[in-house]
Structures are given as C-alpha cells and as structure tokens.
C-alpha cells in the first residue's frame, strides 16, 4: 500500500510518498520540497494574493503527477497556519480542489501539535520531552510525559514571522530587545512551559539548518540529523555568531542552506528563548514531523498492521523488507544468540544490560545488510549501511554500536571502522562491541546455510556434567552404557522442566505483572533454563557419587583464563551447513574473550520422534569439538 502526504505550509510545500509492506513495515519512497513562502503573499487585509495561489497550484499539479507515477492508493493533503489564518481560506481551498482535484484538510494548531507528537513517539525513544514544531508562520508546542501528550499550545511565531518581527537584517540591538520582550511576554502566558528541565525536541527546516551549522563547526563525523543532540550552549553560540552577519556573509557559511539564510537568525532567537524559559539543557533534532504524523494517524485510523512498541522494530522490519534480506535467517540468528545469552547469564559469565541486548538484537537482525552491496568486504559494507540507514529510536552513539557489532570481524578492523566516530562512544563501548561482535559471529556460523536446522544452543558447566570428551558415560543407575547417557540426563531435564513450568507458570507470570513484557519473557526463559540445568546437575551428581570420579588431574587456572570448563550443546536436525573449522574458530575466539575453557558438542535430533513426545529430544548421532 502506498500513500502520498502533501503538506501545504507557510514556507514550503512538500510531498512524501510512503509505502507500507506486507509485514507492516513503513518506509519513505520519495521526499520533495518546493519553497513558495506563501506567507509573503499575504496582503494587509490578511488575504493570500493571486500570485502566491497560482504558484501553489502549479506545484500541486506537479506533485499529483509524481504521485500517479508512484501509483499511490491515496493522496492526503493537509494545510497549516498560512491557510488557516488567511481571510480567503475557503476560496483558496475550493480553487485548489477545482484545479488539482485535491481536497485539503485544514489543520488546527492542536492538530499540528498532535501529528508532530505522533511522529516523535514513533521515531525517537523518548519518555519526557518538550516538542516544538517550527513552521514558517507558527510554532506548535507539546509537553510529553511518559510518552503521553499532556499539553499543547500554538504560538503565532515561526521562522518567517520572526523575520518580520526583527524587521532588519542583520537586526539591531533594539530590534533584538523588542523581539525578546515579545517572546518573554508570550511564554509568560503559558504556565506549564517554565522550568521543565527535560529534553527539548525540535522539528522543522530552520532547526535542522541550525543543527547543520553546529555539525559543520564541530566537524561532526556522522552526517545525520535525526537524533542529533546539541547543548543549549550550542544554540547560544550559533545565535551570537550569525546575528551580526549580513545576509551575503551568511550565504557563505558552511552548512547553511541558501533558502534558510535569511530565516535562521529569528529562528535561532526563538529556540534559544524557548530553551531558556523551559530550562532545557539538551536539544534533540527530529528529521520526522508532521507528514510522518499524518501517515501514522492514517494507519491507526485504517487499522493497518499495528506498529510495535519500540520504534526501532519498525525500521528493522522496513530494512529487512526493503533490502530483501532473509527474514527467517535474521530471526533465527537472533533466536540462537538470545538462547546463548540466557545460558551465559545463568552462569554469570556475561550479564548484558537491557539496553545492550536491544542493540545486539538490532545488529543480529540486520547483520547481512552489507551483502546487498557485495559479498566481498561485506562486513565493512554492513557497517556503513547501518551507520546511515533510517533506523529509528537510536542515538548516534547507539547507531555506531549497532553498525560496529553487525560488521565486526576482528579488533584491527574494528579500530579502523570506528576511528572517525570514536568521540561519540563511551569508555566501555569498544569492549562490549568486541564481545557482542564475537557472539554474533558465533550465531552466524550456526545458521550459515540459512536453513534453520540448528534447534537450540545450551551451555553446561563441565563440573556439573559427565565429561563429554569421553566415549563412555554412565546413566542414572551408574551402569556402563554407550556414549549417550548424558542425553538421557538432558531428556530427563526437558521432561522435568516441562512439568515444572506447567505447574508454576501462572504463579511466575503473576509475579512479573506490571513489568516490561520483553524483560519478563527473558527472565522467565532464564529461570526455565536454570531449573533445567539443576535437573541435569542432579543426574550427574548421582553418577559422580556412583563412580567417585577423581578430578585431581583437571588443569589448574591459567593467567587470564578461568579454570572452569564449559560445553556447548548444539541440537540440530536435518543436515545444517556448519563448517567445523569455522565453528572451532568462533568457539576459540569466544572462549578467549569470555576467559573460559569452552568446547562444543553437536547432537542430531530426530524431529519425527520428537513430535511423538514433544518434550524429549531423541538423539541420533553426536559430533564432538574442542
């Protein structure tokens, strides 16, 4: 499904063409703007003159043709302040409908604020924030608490009207004092805006222009605006730098577009004042605004595929679909990795934070993104694709981390990739990238053939099990059997765990009520794995007591390596493409990183037999690795 959204504003007219795929993923196909400055065609009586209307209609006709080329299902037109305030707005809308066939919805200030709010909560990860959407003729203010819209206000000052308030270019000190008095008086009448001390989020072309100035001055390495953060001091510095410049001087400033050069002084003054009265220390830039909000509203109204709680999931799905990546392989890779993370957490070998797991998940799902460019140097391509991809709800630091994990090969390559972005990272980030990158490479080895034949990955401490390297193991009775008795312990654990979780599932879920659903499910999974491991341990302790195993010849601790040994149990079905050398290398590097002794054990299971008793794995053959 495709929809076009046309935004008729005071400063420009813009069309954005969206596509919603079968999975519900939404992506932008086209985004075109034409500067009209319709606000400058308003006469003294408040009517838009014919010259401005004729230019508007000409642009709209071109946009209709573009929408037809993209075969959109619907064109949604919205008009903002300049039309809303015009004395002849009814005549204008009728004329547009007659000559273009477009029926425009006239938005109120509250409508604009709500649509901007929808865009923010679906593209940025925010909890509390003050949002402003600066157009040409007005600015919409929205207070958000716990992701809910609490207050809104539309003020009749935008980039174009602030230029008119200042009168001269460059403005005199008297012009600036008069403009400040106007703004202070205006904000004094909005009681909820003062001393908020929360992040401020900016939407609109003027605030994006200011952000580009800051990036150019700081030689910011990542040329992306969405999610870019500035301090309030950056806004003050930019304002003081440009306010005395003549227009010709501003036109030569790196990072400032010609079409915004005459508007940026008044816009910067309004933003600086807003940050001052709200006590905002941080300004976050949004590259998504009213048009995106219109699309999100349309999806909700038409009950299309619902959007996930985390906006990052939306953009991941969009990339999987847009790049035609193997979705089943992507989610299988993450499933195996999540499985292994739970085992590492169980033994306290690795305790990733929720935020770290979130970034690792994104990297795992998109690790093949670079293959669309070439399989040669695919890791490097993946890094650069994800670094600049339209991924929502990531800070620029988090974006670098996701890209680096997904594209990780070795420490030297990592250092080369992240060197230009080093100052965006925190002290421990590089260590986590190396660990997470090795975990991901291990998971990729398990599904190299993209068949999904690896069913599970488990980690067992050798001190709790019989030695899998021996070709003879003992069953629960202590009788000498073939080399399958550890599988009996595993099968027994599966059976016990199923009964245990059936009995305690509801009580456990009640205890988790009110918590984040993903966290609750993850903890439940770890809890289940812990019970399962305890069953295996009890079986093997019985065997050890019967055998009176002498472990005196176990190796002593080596420098930097734990004396504890672990075995990876990899359950497979069918004939997965697992290259032994690749698996050996992945396990070796991972063991070194985790500072443990680690070996692997592949069990081939019979799914037909498993279907007869769904809680038992039926081993067919085993492969050992060191």
Q: What is the dihedral of CA 373, 375, 380, 381, to 10 degrees?
A: 10
Cβ atoms of 233 and 252 within 8 Å: the answer is no
Cis peptide before 170 (omega within 30 of 0): yes
Q: What is the mean pLDDT of residues 574-597?
A: 86
| Residue 179 pLDDT level (bands cut at 50, 70, 90) | very high
The answer to whether the CB of 159 falls within 8 A of the CB of 205 is yes
Residue 580: predicted pLDDT: 82
pLDDT at 280 over 90: yes
What single DSSP character describes residue 49?
P
Which residues sit opposite 17 in a β-bridge? 4, 30
Q: What is the pLDDT of residue 516?
A: 55
Alpha-carbon gap, residue 537 to 490, rounded angstroms: 10
Helices 517-547 and 485-511 meet at what angle, rounded to 10?
A: 140
464 token code pair: 């709790």
Question: Which residue shows structure tokens 């001390």?
Answer: 197
pLDDT of residue 602: 85
Q: Which residue has the tokens 């990546």?
A: 325
Whether 529 has a pLDDT exceeding 90, the answer reads: no
Asked if the model's pLDDT at residue 286 lies above 60, the reply is: yes
pLDDT for the residue 303: 67
Share of the chain above pLDDT 90, in %: 63
d(CA 601, CA 174): 79
CATH topology of domain 311-446: Hypothetical protein af1432 (1.10.3210)
What pLDDT does 569 receive? 87
Helices (H), 34-101: 50-69, 81-85, 89-100
Q: Long-range contacts: 464-473, Cβ < 8 Å, 24+?
A: 464/533, 464/536, 464/537, 464/540, 464/541, 465/489, 465/536, 465/537, 465/540, 465/567, 466/540, 466/543, 466/544, 468/567, 468/599, 468/601, 468/624, 469/599, 469/624, 469/626, 473/543
Instruction: Please give the torsion angle defined by the CA atoms of residues 253, 257, 259 and 260, in that order, rounded to the nearest 10 degrees.
Output: -70
Whether residue 444 contacts residue 336, with contact meaning beta carbons closer than 8 Å, is answered with no
Which run of H or E residues covers position 131? strand 129-134
**Fold match between domain 1-107 and domain 124-287:** yes
From 182-186, 475-479, 505-509, 572-576, the region with the lowest mean pLDDT:
475-479
422 vs 453, residue with greater confidence: 422
Q: Inform me whether the pLDDT recorded for 557 exceeds 80.
A: no
For residue 472, pLDDT beyond 60: no
| Pair 208, 135: CB distance under 8 Å | no
**Per-residue pLDDT for 535 more than 50?**
no
**Which tens digit of pLDDT belongs to each residue from 442-454?**
999 988 888 888 8
Across 314-330, average pLDDT: 92
Measured between its terminal Cα atoms, the distance across the chain in Å is 52
Residue (of 373, 164, 199, 162) closest to 282 by Cα position: 199
**Rounded average pLDDT over 431-435:** 96
359 pLDDT above the threshold of 60: yes
Task: Give me the percent of the chain exceeding a pLDDT of 70.
Answer: 80
CATH fit for domain 1-107, picks 3.30.420.40, 3.40.50.300, 3.60.20.10, 2.30.110.10: 3.30.420.40
pLDDT over threshold 70, residue 559? no
Q: What is the pLDDT of residues 112-127, one digit of tens each?
A: 999 999 999 999 998 9
Q: What is the rounded average pLDDT of the residues 508-517?
A: 52
The residue with greater pLDDT, 331 or 484, is 331
DSSP letter string, 261-301: TTTHHHHHHHHHHHHHHHT--EEEEES--HHHHHHHHHHHH
| Arithmetic mean of pLDDT, 31-42 | 92
Q: Give the pair of three-digit tokens for residue 2.
A: 């495709």
The pLDDT of residue 210 is: 95
**Per-residue confidence (pLDDT) for residue 60, from 0 to 100:** 98
pLDDT for the residue 414: 96
Q: CA 544 to CA 139: how far, in whole Å?
A: 74
Q: Tell me the pLDDT of the chain averaged across its residues.
A: 83
Structure confidence at residue 450 (pLDDT): 82
Q: pLDDT tens for residues 49-81? A: 999 999 999 999 999 999 999 999 999 999 999
Q: Where does the pLDDT of residue 20 fall: very low under 50, low under 70, confident under 90, or very high at 90 and above?
A: confident
Question: Residue 310: its pLDDT value, please?
Answer: 87
- Residue 525 or residue 105, greater confidence: 105
The answer to which of 34-43, 299-308, 360-369, 521-530 has the lowest mean pLDDT is: 521-530
216, 296 contact by CB (below 8 A) = no
The per-residue pLDDT for 503 is 47
Nearest CA to 15 out of 26, 4, 3 is that of 4
Q: Which residue has the tokens 């002084």?
A: 265
d(CA 608, CA 621): 15
The per-residue pLDDT for 519 is 56
pLDDT of res. 422: 93
Residues 6+ apart with CB under 8 A from 252: none
Identify the CATH homologous superfamily for domain 124-287. Exopolyphosphatase. Domain 2 (3.30.420.150)
What count of other Cβ atoms lies within 10 Å of the Cβ of residue 433? 26
pLDDT at 517: 56
Say whether pLDDT at 294 is over 80: yes
Sort 580 into a burial class: Cβ within 10 Å, 0-12 / 13-18 / 19+.
exposed
Q: Where are the domains of the chain?
A: 1-107, 124-287, 311-446, 454-549+556-625
Confidence of residue 518 (pLDDT cuts 50, 70, 90): low
Of 616, 592, 619, the C-alpha closest to 605 is 619
Residues 6+ apart with CB under 8 A from 131: 113, 116, 117, 120, 140, 141, 142, 143, 144, 200, 201, 203
Max mean pLDDT range (39-53, 247-261, 521-535, 610-624)? 39-53
State both tokens at 460: 């067992």
For the residues 491-511, what does the mean pLDDT come to? 49
Residue 282 CA to residue 541 CA, distance in Å, equals: 57
pLDDT at residue 399 tops 80:
yes
> Cα(216)–Cα(199) distance, rounded to whole angstroms?
23
């Amino acid at each position: 499904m495709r929809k076009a959204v046309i935004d008729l504003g005071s400063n420009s007219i813009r069309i954005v063409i969206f596509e919603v795929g079968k999975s519900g993923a939404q992506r932008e196909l086209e985004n075109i703007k034409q500067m009209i400055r319709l606000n400058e065609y308003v006469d003294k009586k408040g009517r838009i003159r014919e010259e401005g209307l004729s230019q508007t209609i000409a642009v709209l006709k071109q946009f209709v043709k573009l929408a037809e080329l993209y075969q959109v299902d619907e064109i949604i037109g919205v008009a903002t302040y300049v039309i809303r305030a015009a004395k002849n707005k009814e005549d204008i809308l009728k004329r547009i409908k007659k000559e273009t066939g477009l029926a425009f919805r006239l938005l109120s200030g509250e409508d604009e604020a709500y649509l901007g709010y929808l865009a923010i909560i679906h593209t940025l990860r925010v909890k509390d924030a003050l949002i402003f959407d600066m157009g040409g003729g007005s600015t919409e203010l929205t207070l958000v608490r716990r992701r809910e819209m609490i207050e809104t206000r539309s003020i009749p000052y935008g980039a174009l009207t602030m230029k008119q308030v200042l009168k001269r270019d460059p403005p005199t000190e008297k012009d600036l004092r008069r403009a400040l008095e106007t703004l202070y008086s205006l904000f004094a009448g909005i009681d909820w805006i003062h001393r908020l001390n929360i992040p401020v989020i900016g939407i609109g072309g003027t605030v994006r222009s200011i952000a580009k100035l800051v990036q150019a001055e700081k030689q910011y390495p990542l040329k992306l605006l969405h999610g870019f953060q500035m301090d309030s001091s950056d806004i003050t510095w930019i304002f003081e730098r440009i306010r005395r410049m003549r227009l010709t001087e501003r036109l030569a400033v790196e990072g400032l577009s010609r079409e915004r050069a005459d508007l940026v002084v008044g816009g910067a003054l309004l933003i600086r004042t807003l940050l001052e009265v709200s006590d905002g220390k941080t300004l976050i830039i949004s590259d998504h605004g009213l048009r995106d909000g219109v699309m999100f509203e349309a999806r909700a109204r038409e009950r299309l595929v619902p959007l996930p709680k985390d906006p990052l999931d939306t953009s991941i799905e969009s990339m999987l679909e847009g790049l035609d990546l193997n979705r089943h392989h992507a989610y299988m890779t993450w499933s195996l990795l999540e499985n292994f993370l739970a085992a590492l957490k169980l033994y306290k070998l690795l305790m990733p934070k929720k935020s770290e797991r979130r970034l690792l998940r994104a990297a795992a799902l998109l690790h093949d993104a670079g293959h669309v460019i070439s399989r040669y140097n695919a890791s490097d391509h993946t890094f650069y694709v994800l670094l600049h991809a339209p991924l929502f709800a990531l800070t620029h630091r988090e974006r670098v981390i996701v890209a680096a994990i997904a594209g990780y090969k070795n420490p030297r390559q990592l250092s080369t990739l992240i060197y230009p972005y080093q100052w965006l990272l925190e002290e421990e980030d590089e260590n986590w990238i190396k660990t997470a990158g090795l975990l991901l490479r291990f998971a990729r080895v398990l599904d190299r053939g993209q068949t999904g034949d690896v069913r599970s990955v488990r980690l067992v401490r050798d001190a709790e099990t019989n030695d899998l390297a021996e070709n003879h193991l003992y069953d629960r009775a202590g009788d000498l059997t073939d080399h399958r008795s550890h599988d009996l312990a595993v099968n027994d654990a599966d059976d016990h765990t199923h009964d245990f979780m059936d009995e305690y599932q509801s009580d456990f879920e009640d205890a988790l009520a009110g918590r984040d659903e993903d966290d609750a499910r993850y903890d439940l999974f770890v809890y289940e794995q812990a019970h399962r491991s305890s069953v295996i341990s009890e079986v093997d302790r019985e065997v050890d007591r019967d055998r009176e195993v002498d472990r005196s010849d176990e190796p002593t601790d080596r420098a930097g390596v734990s004396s504890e040994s672990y075995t990876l149990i990899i359950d497979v079905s069918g004939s997965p493409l697992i290259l032994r050398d690749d698996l050996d290398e992945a396990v070796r590097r991972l063991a070194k990183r985790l500072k443990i002794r680690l070996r692997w054990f592949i069990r081939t299971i019979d799914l037909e037999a498993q279907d007869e008793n769904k809680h038992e794995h039926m081993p067919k053959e085993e492969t050992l690795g060191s």
